[in-house]
Structure 1
Amino acid sequence: MAEVTAEMREILGEVRTIIGDRRVREISMFGSVALMVDDSMAVAVFRDESVLVRVRDDEDAALLAEPDAERSVMGERSMGLSWLRVRLDPEHSRLEFWVRAVLRRPGKSAG
């Protein structure tokens, strides 16, 4: 399991607050700590305080154009459509924006 820092715990707590009363499970994934919502990966938090999100395919291009987002890669390979790595600012001011984007994926609701 990834070593969890205080900063990672803070981000995970913020994500849990945004998700609300949904069923959430925490697991180690991709060298990070991921929160699963309804058995699907919602947000994975990394030691560098970036997050991995999976968004709707039809929103991928627009969200990829956001200044804090890039296509997620594993090793040297792209994870493909809908997988984005987001660099959070120190205040995590856009974390809710990204979590809400995740919750719009099929099978999820903004609650």
Structure 2
Amino acid sequence: MAYDRELADRIREALSGLAVREVSMFGGLTFMVNDKITATANTQGDLMVRCDPARVGDLLERDGAEWPVMRGRKMSKGWIVVNAGCVESDEVLTSWIREALDYNGKVTGRGK
């Protein structure tokens, strides 16, 4: 499955030091931490993260953040897609990965 390789490499770097499993899904390459989806690099270079559903409203206010749509339907609360142009800086990408890891720690009880 095709995915943005540069973004995937940057996600790998942001998750370095953690036990990560990579799986092809969601039209890209998905990174799982503690057996839970954390982030996905898709074919257009967009980043999808799994986040705290209670934070979605605030997170959607960030530049380039959108509610993801799969097969014409909005995904459930707890997912955000970030436009490729808005994750060009490592600082911004890392902040989104941190959001995903914070929620991952909550749902797994394992922390980061």
Q: With structure 1 as the length reference, what TM-score do the two structures score?
A: 0.86
Equivalent position amino acid for 2:95 in 1 = F
2-structure distance, mates of 1:61, 1:83 = 11
1-structure distance, mates of 2:48, 2:27 = 11
Shift of 1:91: 6.5
Bigger proportion of residues as helix: 2
**Structure 1 residue 3 and structure 2 residue 2: aligned?**
yes
| Runs of 4 or more consecutive aligned structure 1 residues displaced over 3 Å after TM superposition | none
> Over aligned residues, Cα RMSD in angstroms?
1.7
Which consecutive residues of structure 1, in runs of 5 or more, have no partner in the other structure?
A: none
Paired-residue identity, %:
28
Which consecutive residues of structure 2, in runs of 5 or more, have no partner in the other structure?
A: none
Equivalent position amino acid for 1:81 in 2 = K
Contact 1:64 1:70 in 2 (8 A): yes
Counterpart in 2 of 1:31? 27
Q: How many residues align?
A: 106
SS at match of 1:53: strand
Counterpart in 1 of 2:54? 58
Counterpart in 1 of 2:78? 82
94, 97, 101: which one pairs with 1:96? 94
Q: With structure 2 as the length reference, what TM-score do the two structures score?
A: 0.85
Contact 1:88 1:95 in 2 (8 A): no
Equivalent position amino acid for 1:15 in 2 = I
Which stretch shifts more, 68-77 or 88-97?
Answer: 88-97
